[in-house]
Amino acid sequence: MFIPTRAAGLDALDDFVPRAGRDYARDRNADLGASRNNVSGLSPYVRHRLVTEHEVVAAVLERHSLPAAEKFVQEVFWRTYWKGWLEQNPEVWRRYRREVDEFATGTLPTGYDDAVNGRTGIDAMDAWVRELIDTGYLHNHTRMWFASIWVFTLGLPWQLGADFFHRHLLDGDAASNTLSWRWVAGLQTAGKTYLASASNIARYTDGRFSPGGLATTARALTEEPLPPRASIESDDVGGTIGERLGLLLHEEDLEATSLLTEHPQLPDRPVATAVFGDRVARSPFAVSDVVEAFTATALDDTAERTLDASGRPAQVLADTLPSTVLRWAESEQLDTVVVPYAPVGPVHERLGVLRAALAAEGVALVTLRRRWDSAAWPYASRGFFPFRERIPALVRELVVD
């Protein structure tokens, strides 16, 4: 379904743009099975920034007015909002990671094995499990139904559901996935839950599913209070840049050209380039073959496109960080390794370890944050609706101007 290259992502964008206006607003909530013409199918590309949010919104607004494409533009900004919110509340991610690790090393709850293998007896749920495992994708509306049934009908921990999605979804990132599951469970907006119903499922699947026996009440989960919000650093460049600079891309951001253009103090072609993924760090459970294959090909595609000053393609580094990066930096005699800023999540954690290892060898790790994130994230301190009010101004600042 998804070809993991930048070229394929740009083709998908071109194909979708004509439908990004009122057609999308009218039809986007329907899950009609294999037909996906009512949604964009761009999320795996945007998740890895094979295609950037700026490119997507700019292309849509070349064809449609902002009022006409408002619903789609808001969906693009939802991913930005989730990242900005988690950036300011990183303890949510740390708690989730600890809790998944505890489940992985302990006794898994009754019913979990049947749920993740499509044996619940709920026809819709079992079909969605198979679709997710086979394709790495579920319609966004279906993800809400799935999470609601998982938590309130099956009574399973939301953390294990979020982990199941994170290791199977091609577009699953730490913020969007984790916080969406929390929202369904009544944690993200305290006390507000999402309850799936057979009638709603039947309506939006054109009668393909109408599951019986679903929970009729959804009692919100509770948690310990979170610490005060963390601040977002105002500087887009985190660190001092030396003379022998290597560019290290990671699976959170695989588009070097626009990244470097945003930071004109950097050379267009670094001394050396490399790229790595986060397969090992994504989950204590096995990551799906579909996700592994997509990520591996995306890294290869990025390596071919990301040339260094000598015209060499980027090296694809093994998952065994930091040792592979240390060897690369030493062989290229680098004094600085520049990386795109990684939002809170597995790659962010790994870069923290890498920073210390490089510093011990006298090499600086410098982060570059995109203008899109710097402009939007500070407004993600509350709920989405106040953030939504800022979207027109952000579009004018980031796209139109």
State how far the Cα of 162 lies from the Cα of 147, in Å rounded to an integer.
Answer: 8
**CB count, 10 Å around CB of 191?**
10
State how far the Cα of 80 lies from the Cα of 176, in Å rounded to an integer.
Answer: 9
Q: Write out the H or E segment, with its range, that includes residue 7.
A: helix 6-16
Average the pLDDT over each of 122-131, 176-185, 209-218, 260-269 and give the range with the smallest value. 260-269
State how far the Cα of 2 lies from the Cα of 192, in Å rounded to an integer.
Answer: 34
- Give me the pLDDT at residue 320, please: 81
Domains of the chain: 6-85+378-400 (1.25.40), 101-204 (1.10.579.10), 237-368 (3.40.50.620)
State how far the Cα of 386 lies from the Cα of 363, in Å rounded to an integer.
Answer: 41
Q: Give SS3 for 253.
A: strand
Residue type, position 385, single letter: F
Tell me what the mean pLDDT of segment 46-54 comes to. Answer: 98
Q: What percent of the chain stands above pLDDT 70? A: 100
Query: DSSP secondary-structure letter at 221?
Result: P
Helix axes 158-168, 90-105, angle to 10 degrees: 90
- Give me the pLDDT at residue 129, please: 98
pTM of the entire predicted model: 0.97
pLDDT tens, position by position, 93-150: 999 999 999 999 999 999 999 999 999 999 999 999 999 999 999 999 999 999 999 9
Higher pLDDT, 249 or 282: 249
- Give me the pLDDT at residue 400, please: 86
pLDDT tens, position by position, 19-40: 999 999 999 999 988 888 999 9
- Give me the pLDDT at residue 267, please: 86
Q: What is the DSSP string of 374-390?
A: HHHGGGTTS-HHHHHHH
Asked whether the predicted pLDDT for residue 309 surpasses 90, the reply is yes
Among candidate residues 81, 97, 94, the one with its CA nearest the CA of residue 180: 81
Order of all β-strands in the sheet with 336-340: 237-238, 364-368, 336-340, 245-250, 272-276, 315-316
Query: DSSP secondary-structure letter at 250?
Result: E
- Give me the pLDDT at residue 20, please: 98
| Cβ atoms of 252 and 97 closer than 8 Å | no
pLDDT tens, position by position, 193-218: 999 999 999 999 999 999 999 999 99
Residue type, position 335, single letter: D
Give the model's confidence band at 321: pLDDT under 50 very low, under 70 low, under 90 confident, else very high.
Answer: confident
Asked whether the predicted pLDDT for residue 278 surpasses 90, the reply is no
State how far the Cα of 373 lies from the Cα of 191, in Å rounded to an integer.
Answer: 29
Q: Which residues of 2-25 are buried (b: 16+ CB within 10 A; e: fewer)?
A: bebbbebbbebbeebbebbbeebe
State how far the Cα of 177 lies from the Cα of 97, in Å rounded to an integer.
Answer: 13
Residue type, position 125, single letter: M
| Cβ atoms of 217 and 153 closer than 8 Å | no
- Give me the pLDDT at residue 319, please: 81
pLDDT tens, position by position, 333-388: 999 999 999 999 999 999 999 999 999 999 999 999 999 999 999 999 999 999 99
Average the pLDDT over each of 8-17, 103-112, 313-322 and give the range with the smallest value. 313-322
| Cβ atoms of 84 and 379 closer than 8 Å | yes
